[in-house]
Amino acid sequence: MKNNRRDLLFQEKQNVNNFTFDKRVAKVFPDMISRSIPGYKIIIRQSGKLAAKFVQPNSNCYDLGCSLGATTQEVARNVNVENVSIIAIDNSEAMLSQAKINTNGIRSDTSISLINGDIRLTSINNASFATLNFTLQFISVSERRALITKIFKGLKPGGCLIISEKICFKEPRIDHKMVKLHHQFKRQRGYSDLEIRQKREAIEDVLVPETVDEHVNRLKKIGFSEPRIWFQCYNFCSMYVFK
Ligand code: GEK
């Protein structure tokens, strides 16, 4: 399966169903995500650079919600210490079968295991590095604390967690402005108003953004360090925290 196809999923007027990570999405995913998330490529590339700094020898790295393995590949390329395993987890079979192909050719001493599983249920242990790159937003808000707590417990002291998310803003005027700027970003990348509207309808009950304050407060209550927000563009941001 080629994975460089153009995302035309919402081009025709349709009865919009809830968004799922099925075969049709997996086929166009690289195009879809890079034309939808401002800074996606920077965030993925820099996740690898952060791995180079923070992954500890004799430990595990977790890529939670790995999709086609973009972050996994960057981490594998950048780990520079011994005896590290990357465990990449996703619950979409369609995504994982392409991730297998994408990670096959990687030249790295770091082992990669791809697991078809639900990140709310899989165990995390002996971790020095974990990424939730645009995945937490798909977990129901009431289950986010339990997931982050499990990651905290599975991290070694000094372990690092990256969280990248779509965010919202408490002040409606600012929120509205950021959504408009995001839609402008998508329009500039070739999406029509119909595609933007239909995608928004498909995803609004599935992807639930929170404010930066909500993320920061939860992380600190669980015991993480003060979050470092290292990237933000409009209503998308990435932060890292330490145990
Ligand atoms: C990237 N990190 O390229 N368990 C496992 N996987 C899940 C779950 C769950 N409970 N819920 C959603 N997913 C990737 C991009 S995409 C982001 C991540 C996006 C998976 C889902 O199947 C999908 O592959 C991924 O989380 C979210 O950097 O599409 O906006």
For residue range 169-220, list pLDDT tens digits in order: 999 999 999 999 999 999 999 998 888 888 888 889 899 999 999 999 999 9
User: What are the domain boundaries of the chain?
Assistant: 40-168+207-242
Is 70 exceeded by the pLDDT of residue 1? no
Q: Is 78 close to ligand 1, i.e. is its CB under 6 Å away?
A: no
Distances (CA, A) of 12 to 20, 170, 193: 18, 34, 11
Q: Is 118 close to ligand 1, i.e. is its CB under 6 Å away?
A: yes
Domain 40-168+207-242 in this protein, CATH class:
alpha beta
Q: Are 138 and 65 in contact (CB under 8 A)?
A: yes
Nearest to 93 by CA among 123, 119, 115: 115
Q: Is 29 close to ligand 1, i.e. is its CB under 6 Å away?
A: no
Q: Is 134 close to ligand 1, i.e. is its CB under 6 Å away?
A: yes
Q: Tell me the per-residue pLDDT of 51-65, one tens digit each, with 9 for 90 and over.
A: 999 999 999 999 999
pLDDT of residue 3: 52
Q: Tell me the per-residue pLDDT of 133-170, one tens digit each, with 9 for 90 and over.
A: 999 999 999 999 999 999 999 999 999 999 999 999 99
Q: Is 116 close to ligand 1, i.e. is its CB under 6 Å away?
A: no
For ligand 1, atom 19, name the residue with the nearest CA: 134
Is 90 exceeded by the pLDDT of residue 106? no
For residue 61, how far is its CA from the centre of ligand 1 (angstroms)? 16
Nearest to 74 by CA among 37, 43, 98, 95: 43
For ligand 1, atom 13, name the residue with the nearest CA: 65
Q: Is 137 close to ligand 1, i.e. is its CB under 6 Å away?
A: no
Nearest to 21 by CA among 116, 142, 147: 116
pTM of the model: 0.96
